[in-house]
Structure 1
Amino acid sequence: MKKILLTAGLVGALLVGTGAPTMAISDSASTSLPGTGAKVEVNAWQCSAYTDKCSFKTSTKTRKHGAKYKVSKITNTATVKANGWQATLALSPSGTMVSENTRQVSWTNENTWIADISGIADPGGSLNTSITTCSDGGAFKSGVKAFASACAND
């Protein structure tokens, strides 16, 4: 997991008037798709500093020797959680409510190499301290399947 730390002064300078993310926190993982020589790669990214809303993106990809590798079915589920006491979360796209502070969005593609999701998280509640974005992905081809997970948090 990679983390980027910013001082309070730098965060303030970077966010003045924008409320937009300035840098990203990310995580990735991969696993082999048995019998194919391909790998299933999952990625999770989110903003590292925000004043109101935080952008996020997740993906599942299949590659063989670095090149795109088409599979029968590829899925990605983004789980976004607001961490903190009495935290709440609104998400765009809205997704499925898991709890007051957690939402999930899923996407499935067929006969391709990628499934990805992106959106905006809007955390609320008192003493909300951080966001966590997780990516769970799977790929299926010729009767075999593989899954991987990655989580980015600050």
Structure 2
Amino acid sequence: MKKTLLTTGLVGILMVGAAAPAIAFEDTASTPLPGTGAKVEANAWQCSTYFDKCSFKTSTKALKGSAKYKVSKITNTATVKANGWQATLSLSPSGTQVSENTRQVSWTNKNTWISDISGIADPGGSLNTSVTTCSDGGAFTAGVKAFASACAND
């Protein structure tokens, strides 16, 4: 009986630890999608504290109220930048190198409501390096389009 209680207690402790909210930097911005009553929303999220690598997520969503709004085409571009003196950046997924300290990753979906990207940024080159993650997105449907941008930084 003691073994069962100890195991149950340990599982309870692990579950509570896993459920704790992560601290992060995030930003959201939106723009109306003309003539539809919907909006295009860009979201950027990144870790707030890191010792080596920093996770990031970006998305572009088409929403009508809080409901998903299907569009013909929806795109998202994540731009991740390492800030600081002689800062460098490597990224997973690798994306396109914009400069020594900036990378971009893009994704496009058709006939849906969301396009999202996630990955790991590995900044280097300076003791005072920080990371900025931006999300640029657009939605296209029935001859109209709209774009939104959001940036999260520490």
Superposed displacement of residue 58, structure 1: 0.1
Residue 119 of structure 2 aligns with which residue? Answer: 119
Residue 53 of structure 1 aligns with which residue? Answer: 53
**Conserved 8 A contact 1:87-1:127:** no
Summarize the alignment of residues 70-149 of structure 1 with structure 2, pairs less than 5 Å apart. Answer: 70-149=70-149
- Partner AA of 2:46 in structure 1: Q
**Conserved 8 A contact 2:123-2:129:** no
Summarize the alignment of residues 13-24 of structure 1 with structure 2, pairs less than 5 Å apart. Answer: 22-24=22-24
Question: How large is the Cα RMSD of the aligned pairs?
Answer: 1.1
Map Cα deviations across residues 68-118 of structure 1 (whole Å, 9 max, x no partner).
000000000000000000000000000000000000000000000000000
- Partner AA of 1:34 in structure 2: P
Gaps of 5+ in 1: 1-21
- Partner AA of 2:35 in structure 1: G
Superposed displacement of residue 129, structure 1: 2.3
Superposed displacement of residue 126, structure 1: 2.2
Residue 67 of structure 1 aligns with which residue? Answer: 67
**Conserved 8 A contact 1:76-1:108:** yes
Gaps of 5+ in 2: 1-21
Runs of 4+ in 1 over 2 A off after TM superposition: 126-129
Superposed displacement of residue 66, structure 1: 1.1
Query: Secondary structure in 1 aligned to 2:52?
Result: coil
- Partner AA of 1:76 in structure 2: N
**Conserved 8 A contact 1:62-1:71:** yes
Distance 1:141 1:36, change over 3 A: same
Map Cα deviations across residues 8-29 of structure 1 (whole Å, 9 max, x no partner).
xxxxxxxxxxxxxx41100000
Structure with the greater alpha carbon radius of gyration: 2
- Partner AA of 2:79 in structure 1: T
**Conserved 8 A contact 1:73-1:112:** yes
Superposed displacement of residue 42, structure 1: 0.6
